[in-house]
Amino acid sequence: AQLSENFYVKKCPSVFNAVKSVVHSAVAKEARMGGSLLRLFFHDCFVNGCDGSVLLDDTSSFKGEKTAPPNSNSLRGFDVIDAIKSKVEAVCPGVVSCADVVAIAARDSVAILGGPYWKVKLGRRDSKTASFNAANSGVIPSPFSSLSDLISKFQAQGLSTKDMVALSGAHTIGKAKCSTFRQHVYNETNNINSLFAKARQRNCPRTSGTIRDNNVAVLDFKTPNQFDNLYYKNLINKKGSFILTRFYSVEDPQIHLLELTATIKRPLKMTLLMQ
């Protein structure tokens, strides 16, 4: 069925306040949670669409997505989604899908951290099953993917290269583990400022396989808790986080300076994933 901004206007008008109040207190307690909730939405949507599949625990009949490599020891915020869902069930029992809760929580997170606001289209139906294999099949982009691989993974979701560049701007908030950015900070190409690389290396030893793999660093070293366009500015200054930074160079025909500055001027299109 067609999603609609007005889906809950009659069925549950208080859903928006219920979601927002829980997101608000979670982000007040820990700003990073805003990023974690946004990423949860992204990882739900890339695996069989935005159907709440990412939320499902393993059962006797299926092994779900939570323990799949892109998600395990990495996705956060499930407890916040549970708290939101309880609150929503208290005001409108049996009306609002978990998939819609995740979509609204992602929007509210971005807005609370100073980013753009959009009207979320609603009416998603929750999946009753989830698949470890689907989440492990390579549909979710990896920080070690090549540029062409990243582009084709977004293409497979109906998203263009420009969309990918815009959506990568989400890394203006949140944190990443040493194991995901080590390669970038020890690979001193001309894409990374050497002082910045050194600073990151301090918290992330070259050798993998220790507890320090889990050390985290902010993705945006300047405004980690504000949803702004610093992701791109850092990238241009060679102090970027790991995703497009590895590929960013003035010579690159696909992700070049013009593309990036155009993205800075446009509002970040967070709505792209929201269909």
217 φ, ψ (degrees, to nearest 5): -135, 150
- Could you list the residues known to form a binding site for substrate, using ranges: 141
Query: Which are the contacts of 133, defined by CB distance < 8 A and separation ≥ 6?
Result: none
Q: Is 157 in the site for Ca ion (CB under 5 A)?
A: no
Q: Is 136 in the site for Ca ion (CB under 5 A)?
A: no
Q: Is 64 in the site for ligand HEM (CB under 6 A)?
A: no
Q: Is 173 in the site for ligand HEM (CB under 6 A)?
A: yes
Of the candidates 149, 197, 200, 141, the one whose C-alpha atom is nearest the C-alpha of residue 170 is 141
Instruction: Choose the one of Ca ion, ligand HEM, none that binds residue 74, judging by a C-beta under 5 to 8 angstroms depending on kind.
Output: ligand HEM
Calculate helix-pair angle for 98-112, 32-46, nearest 10 degrees: 140
Binding-site member from 103, 120, 167, 255 for ligand HEM (CB under 6 A): 167
The answer to whether 43 is a known catalytic residue is yes
Contact between residue 217 and residue 181 where contact means Cβ atoms under 8 Å apart? yes
Question: What's the closest the beta carbon of residue 70 comes to ligand HEM, in angstroms?
Answer: 8
Residues of this chain, 131-150, that bind ligand HEM according to CB under 6 A: 141-143, 150
Q: How far apart are CA 239 and CA 230, in angstroms?
A: 10
- Could you list the residues known to form a binding site for Ca(2+), using ranges: 44, 47, 49, 51, 53, 65, 172, 220, 223, 228
Lookup: tokens for 102: 């995740």
Return the range that interacts with ligand HEM (CB under 6 A); candidates 119-127, 166-174, 248-256, 260-268.
166-174
